[in-house]
Chain A
Amino acid sequence: MTRVLLIEDDPAVRRGVSLGLRRRGHETEAVGTGEDGLEALGPFAPEIVLLDLMLPGMSGLEVCRRIRETSQVPLVILSARGDDIDVVVGLEAGADDYVVKPASGELIEARMRAVLRRVAPAQPAAAAREQHLTFGGLVIDGVGLQVRKDGRELVLAPSELKLLLFLSASPGQTFSRQQLLEQVWEHSYYGDARLVDACVMRLRSKIEDDPRSPRYVQTVRGFGYRFGPL
Chain B
Amino acid sequence: MKRRPIPRGLRTRLVIAFLLVSAISALTTAALTYQQARTAILDRAQDGAVHDLRDQVGSLAPDLPARPTTADLRALTLQLDRAGGARNWHTAAALRGGPPVAATTGATAVPAALRRAAATADGAVVQRFHRDGDPRLAVALPVATADRPARPSGLVVYASFSLAPQQRDVSSLVAAARAGVVPVVLVSLVPALLAARRVLRPVRQLRSATEKMAAGALDTRIAVTGDDELADLGRTFNTMAATLQADATALRRMEAGARRFAADVSHEMRTPLAAMTAVTGVLDEDAASGRLDPETAEALTLVADETRHLARMVEDLMEISRFDAGAAVLHLDEIDVGELAGKTLALRHWQDRVEVSVPDGLRARLDPRRIDVVLANLLGNALRHGGSSVPVRLRARADEDALVLTVTDGGPGIPEELLPHVFDRFTKGDAARSRSEGSGLGLAIAAENARLHGGTLTAANAPGGGTVFTLTLPWNPA
**Considering the chains assembled together, what is the distance between the CA atoms of A17 and B267 in angstroms?**
19
- Tell me whether A190 and B275 are in contact (CB under 8 A): no
**Considering the chains assembled together, what is the distance between the CA atoms of A104 and B275 in angstroms?**
9
**Considering the chains assembled together, what is the distance between the CA atoms of A189 and B346 in angstroms?**
10
**Considering the chains assembled together, what is the distance between the CA atoms of A36 and B322 in angstroms?**
34
**Considering the chains assembled together, what is the distance between the CA atoms of A10 and B334 in angstroms?**
39
- Tell me whether B282 and A23 are in contact (CB under 8 A): yes
Please provide the chain A residues from 62 to 111 with a CB less than 8 Å away from any CB of chain B in the complex: 80-84, 101-106, 108
Chain A residues with Cβ below 8 Å from B271 are 10, 12-13, 80, 101
Chain A residues with Cβ below 8 Å from B133 are none
Of the listed residues A12, A81, A176, A189, the one surrounded by the most CB atoms of chain B closer than 10 A to its CB is: A189
Residue A45 interfacial (CB < 8 Å): no
Residue B458 interfacial (CB < 8 Å): no
- Tell me whether B278 and A19 are in contact (CB under 8 A): yes
- What's the minimum C-beta distance from A191 to chain B, rounded to whole angstroms? 8
Q: Name the contact of B272 in the complex, choosing from A12, A81, A84, A103 (C-beta under 8 A).
A: A12
Residue A178 interfacial (CB < 8 Å): yes
**Considering the chains assembled together, what is the distance between the CA atoms of A82 and B267 in angstroms?**
11
- Tell me whether A101 and B274 are in contact (CB under 8 A): yes
Q: Name the contact of A82 in the complex, choosing from B273, B276, B318, B343 (C-beta under 8 A).
A: B318
Residue B372 interfacial (CB < 8 Å): yes
Chain B residues with Cβ below 8 Å from A177 are 333
Number of interface residues of B (CB under 8 A): 34
Residue B251 interfacial (CB < 8 Å): no
Please provide the chain B residues from 281 to 304 with a CB less than 8 Å away from any CB of chain A in the complex: 281-282, 285
Known: A83-B327, A178-B368. A190 touches B347 (CB 8 A): yes
**Considering the chains assembled together, what is the distance between the CA atoms of A188 and B339 in angstroms?**
13
Residue A118 interfacial (CB < 8 Å): no
Residue B358 interfacial (CB < 8 Å): no
**Considering the chains assembled together, what is the distance between the CA atoms of A192 and B333 in angstroms?**
11
- Tell me whether A101 and B343 are in contact (CB under 8 A): no
Q: Name the contact of B277 in the complex, choosing from A80, A83, A104 (C-beta under 8 A).
A: A104
- Tell me whether B276 and A222 are in contact (CB under 8 A): no
Residue A129 interfacial (CB < 8 Å): no
Residue A20 interfacial (CB < 8 Å): yes
- Tell me whether B272 and A190 are in contact (CB under 8 A): no
**Considering the chains assembled together, what is the distance between the CA atoms of A16 and B404 in angstroms?**
45
- Tell me whether A106 and B333 are in contact (CB under 8 A): no
- Tell me whether A108 and B331 are in contact (CB under 8 A): no
Q: Name the contact of B278 in the complex, choosing from A83, A84, A105, A192 (C-beta under 8 A).
A: A105
Chain B residues with Cβ below 8 Å from A19 are 278-279, 282
Residue B462 interfacial (CB < 8 Å): no
- Tell me whether B285 and A189 are in contact (CB under 8 A): no
**Considering the chains assembled together, what is the distance between the CA atoms of A193 and B322 in angstroms?**
19
- Tell me whether B282 and A222 are in contact (CB under 8 A): no
Residue B197 interfacial (CB < 8 Å): no
- Tell me whether A80 and B274 are in contact (CB under 8 A): yes
Known: A12-B271, A16-B274, A23-B285. A193 touches B279 (CB 8 A): no
Residue B280 interfacial (CB < 8 Å): yes
Residue A223 interfacial (CB < 8 Å): yes
Known: A23-B285, A102-B270, A190-B343. A223 touches B278 (CB 8 A): no
Chain A residues with Cβ below 8 Å from B334 are 176, 222-223
- Tell me whether A105 and B281 are in contact (CB under 8 A): yes
- Across the two chains, which residue of chain A brings its CB closest to B304? A104
- Across the two chains, which residue of chain B brings its CB closest to A189? B343
Residue B369 interfacial (CB < 8 Å): yes
**Considering the chains assembled together, what is the distance between the CA atoms of A177 and B331 in angstroms?**
12
Please provide the chain A residues from 100 to 159 with a CB less than 8 Å away from any CB of chain B in the complex: 101-106, 108
**Considering the chains assembled together, what is the distance between the CA atoms of A12 and B274 in angstroms?**
8
- What's the minimum C-beta distance from A133 to chain B, rounded to whole angstroms? 29
- Across the two chains, which residue of chain B brings its CB closest to A52? B274
**Considering the chains assembled together, what is the distance between the CA atoms of A104 and B314 in angstroms?**
15
Known: A83-B322, A190-B343, A192-B369. A103 touches B329 (CB 8 A): no
- Tell me whether B282 and A102 are in contact (CB under 8 A): no
Chain A residues with Cβ below 8 Å from B369 are 190-192
Q: List 25 A-B contacts (CB under 8 A).
A: A10-B271, A12-B271, A12-B274, A15-B275, A20-B281, A23-B281, A81-B267, A83-B322, A102-B273, A102-B275, A103-B274, A103-B278, A104-B278, A104-B281, A176-B333, A177-B333, A178-B339, A188-B347, A189-B339, A190-B347, A190-B368, A190-B369, A191-B369, A193-B331, A194-B331
**Closest 10 pairs between A and B when the two form their complex, measured CB to CB:** A16-B275, A16-B278, A102-B277, A12-B275, A101-B274, A102-B274, A189-B343, A105-B281, A222-B334, A102-B273
List residues of chain B with CB under 8 Å of any chain A CB.
Answer: 267, 270-282, 285, 308, 311, 314, 318, 322, 327, 329, 331, 333-335, 339-340, 343-344, 347, 368-369, 372
List residues of chain A with CB under 8 Å of any chain B CB.
Answer: 10, 12-13, 15-17, 19-20, 23-24, 80-84, 101-106, 108, 176-178, 188-194, 222-223
